[in-house]
Amino acid sequence: MRYAIAFLVTTFSVIFNAYAEEQKLADFIGNFDYDTRIEMKAGARELGDLLQEGKAQCVDIRFKEEYEAWHMGFGTNIRLNELPDRLNELDEDKIIVTACPHKDRAIITMTYLKTKGYNTMYLKDGLIGLAELLRGDNEKDFIADMPR
């Protein structure tokens, strides 16, 4: 009997959580407008400003091999397929800016994090755009201004 009750409570909890997440996504989509479209994107310069001000956490969601081939030296690498099990590594007090080379996976990640209640944006320039911004002397200044 005790196991049956525990099973029912667990099942109800899973169903309720799934409904709540679906409702958050429905609310996000239902309230989507031009302002939302602007608010969900961060450019490379804006990301730099947010990081330097300590207001954001950059999450690089690329696969292990991609990250090992090259990365920026800041941010947190949480692979997209590992994200549900690694949410505890996200700073809930900061804007989570998701990033990948071309932004496709970053948009998926941002949407998922919205359903979890995070304040989140995606890097609209992609990591390739950020790398372009950080060429030459720009990278030296960018890294020098990062909080330690």
Domain count for the chain, please give it.
2
Same-domain status, 17 and 76:
no
User: Quick one: 27 and 46 in the same domain?
Assistant: no
Buried b (16+ CB within 10 A) or exposed e, 74-87: ebebbbbeebeeee
- Taking only the tens place, the pLDDT of each residue in 21-72 is 778 778 888 888 888 888 889 998 899 899 989 999 999 999 999 999 988 8
- Paired with 59 in beta bridges are 76, 98
User: Structure pTM?
Assistant: 0.80
- In this predicted model, what pLDDT tens digit does every residue of 68-127 receive, in sequence order? 998 887 889 999 999 999 999 999 999 999 999 989 999 999 999 998 999 999 999 999
Contact 98, 120 (CB under 8 A): yes
Answer yes or no: do 27 and 95 share one domain.
no
Is 89 in the same domain as 23?
no
Which of 69, 115, 71 minimizes the C-alpha distance to 96? 115
Same domain (yes/no): 24, 58? no
Instruction: List strand residue ranges (DSSP E) for the chain, in order.
Output: 41-42, 56-60, 76-77, 95-99, 120-123
Same domain? 122 vs 139: yes
Residue 100, domain extent: 34-144
